[in-house]
Structure 1
Amino acid sequence: MTPFVVAIILSAALLHAVWNAIVKTAADRTTTLGLVALGHVIPGAVMVAYLPLPELESLGYVALSTLIHFGYFYMLGQAYRHGDLSVVYPIARGVVPALVALWAMVFAGEFLPLQAWFGIGLIGLGIQLSSWQALKSGVGSTALRYALGTGVCISLYSLVDGLGVRLSGNTLSYWAWGAFGHLFIAAFIGLRRRQVLAQIPARSWLIGILGGFVSMTAYGLVLFAKNFAPLGAVSALRETSVIFAALIGFVFLREGNWMRRLGAAVVMALGVAMIGLSV
């Protein structure tokens, strides 16, 4: 994997951490997730109006990805409802790299070298280490189920979009239609929370939609990288967003132990290096 592709994915991971920090600090996380979805729809609609259609065979992947994203937003909202973000988030993200690598091996015939699997393992270890104190306190069975369900959804849409973007013939068009598909998610949450929406201050609307812009940009970078690197490796590098989120939490939100988080960052950096040098 070239340094340029690694840099693209790590940039996406940093942006992903930023929008998750926005959700984390929101008073109403479900409504904020709806606004994040709306933040995908607005630029997606503009891009769809001007860009050509992606190849027809990729549109089925867009539809399937939209359906899985719907499940992802539902699982994530329920996980946050039943468990603390500091516990739910590392569980949900920690299972993703290995699952994507397995799905890619089964459905795309992508076999990673042993060194890359070690790198994936180190990134998974770093994810858990970054939130070790919170994880030690335990997690309820309901929160655990929804956290694992969230991770499965992430791994599935990562696979579907990785295959779809390679068939699209135009990464920008595939990205635009995927973002515009969040219309169904935003509409569903909007209808469910319609009584709350009128009471949300304009600043919260702006922050939520801005979070959507950031999230969409992050995933666009990941889609671009999936054209040039194995899906499992891309997913593993993307999950370094967890350590970026942990560092943001420590610096800006005064959360956690800096020594543990620095140690987790070192472990994950080693994992990134192993993957980058092996594929």
Structure 2
Amino acid sequence: MKTIGVLTSGGDSPGMNAAIRAVVRSGIYNGCKIVGVKQGYHGLIKGYMEEMNLSSVADIIHRGGTMLQTARSEEFLTEEGRQKAMYAINIFGIDGLVVIGGDGSFKGAQKLNELGIPTIGLPGTIDNDLRYTEYTIGFDTAVNTVLDAIGRIRDTSASHGRANIIEVMGRHCGDIALYAGLAGGAESIIVPEVEFKIDQVCSKLIKGRNRGKLHSIILLAEGVGGAMEISKEIEEKTGIETRVTILGHIQRGGSPTAFDRILASKMGARAVELLLEGKKNRALGINGLEIIDVDFVDVFKQTDGFHQKTYDLANILSI
């Protein structure tokens, strides 16, 4: 293992730069050459690669996004596209590859491993939807971004005596809504994993108003959809003026939290160690305080991991 490649793929997440930095510096420390791949699998096919040194990753640990950039690649989904990627990998003499991204990125890494290039995956996604790990890189930052928005929206909501629905990211996984809702004291949390009843949401709002509450916050994961329709129905049933705020891609940006920087740094360094140990087809995660690694096959098997107890706690505390 003399040359290690690193790329970021799929949606960007805060902490990716910290992970890149850890791969580059740990690799150089261990006597390896590090090649950065620009624009994910698209760049891998096109040969958008360059050798990285210590200065390449200076002053990036605190920055959001990814210095290597990211892009979707339909071509990589084809056998022909993957063969082109392997050709570029061989041209640049890459012996092993670190892939930072979500489940789609991991599936691409698994395909490359089948073609003969050892791969290690780092979970870089704000959605926290990879169930083999407790946390993914970027999730904590996204939750704190939503928390900041909750505080700002609560101020104006209280001034007008309104309810406010805040739509956050999470197409299939409601973890951002769940954790931000619990930490932000939301009255209701609506996620794809749990069927919700509008009458229960309205009941909480009415009870809050009757005890003098000046504002109400409802967290809604985008996968549920219908924010405007839910808002209209709440107004009709309760008479409480209700507004909708869609946070969108603001959740992806910003400086990563200390937790995400440390998690990314530990995982990046461990990825290099695994490749030097001759390991391949592994995905890194965290269990408690321990960095773990599992086979990609096991990653894709674990699809059910919703934190029901956390959801129940949020309901108890929002009575």
The TM-score bracket by the shorter chain reads under 0.3
Larger radius of gyration: 2
Flag the structure with higher helix content. Answer: 1
Q: Higher relative CO (CA 8 A, sep ≥ 6), structure 1 or 2?
A: 1
Flag the structure with higher strand content. Answer: 2
